[in-house]
């Protein structure tokens, strides 16, 4: 007698569902980082400028962070860049957490932590893309 084939067919379905779920998460995160996060910094909105003035780095740093957030948002939806983008955005969230705790009164310290955790899910699920990117870069040398 042979074992039933049902477990073999449920594994790809779960993987496909997980993949779809992570894609949805990536798109939502990309939209967040592009629109309500990067856009105010890139257009010099008064709320963003005020926060960066409080930190003490000025406008140049606000534009830099906005550009990095926008680049990360775009890279989140490029398959081969999605894993490394999530890791880079986790680094930005670490900086945002530090700024919240040291300069901005720590009122919203949990926001970068939540986003870092969501980005960690993406980075973990897309780690094969990060490995593939490293292979491509090594082969190019």
- The mean per-residue pLDDT over the stretch 53-81 comes to 95
What pLDDT was estimated at residue 10? 47
Angle at 69 between CA 61 and CA 114, to 5 degrees: 110
Cα–Cα distance measured from residue 103 to residue 97, given in angstroms and rounded to the nearest whole number? 10
Over the stretch 91-109, which tens digit does the pLDDT of each residue have?
Answer: 999 999 999 999 988 788 9
Q: pLDDT exceeding 90 applies to what percent of the chain?
A: 79
Over the stretch 27-47, which tens digit does the pLDDT of each residue have?
Answer: 999 999 999 999 999 999 999
Q: Look at residue 115 and tell me whether its pLDDT is greater than 80.
A: yes
Backbone angles phi, psi at 111, to 5 degrees: -60, -55
Name the one residue in this structure whose structure tokens are 């899910």: 121
Q: Using 50, 70 and 90 to split pLDDT, how confident is the model at 122?
A: very high
The DSSP 8-state label assigned to residue 1 in this structure reads -
Angle, helix 127-140 to helix 82-102, in steps of 10 degrees: 110
Q: Which residues contact 118 (CB under 8 A, 6 or more apart)?
A: 25, 29
- The mean per-residue pLDDT over the stretch 7-16 comes to 60
């Amino acid at each position: 007698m042979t074992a039933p084939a049902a477990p073999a067919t449920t594994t790809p379905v779960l993987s496909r569902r997980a993949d779809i779920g992570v894609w949805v998460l990536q798109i939502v995160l990309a939209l967040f980082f592009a629109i309500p996060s990067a856009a105010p910094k890139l257009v010099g909105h008064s709320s963003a400028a005020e926060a960066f003035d409080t930190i003490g780095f000025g406008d140049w740093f606000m534009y830099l962070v906005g550009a990095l957030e926008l680049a990360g948002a775009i890279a989140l939806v490029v398959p081969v860049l999605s894993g490394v983008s999530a890791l880079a955005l986790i680094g930005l969230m670490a900086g945002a957490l530090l700024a919240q705790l040291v300069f901005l009164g720590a009122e919203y310290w949990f926001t970068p932590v939540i986003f870092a955790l969501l980005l960690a899910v993406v980075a973990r699920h897309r780690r094969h893309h990060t490995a593939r990117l490293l292979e491509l870069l090594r082969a190019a040398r």
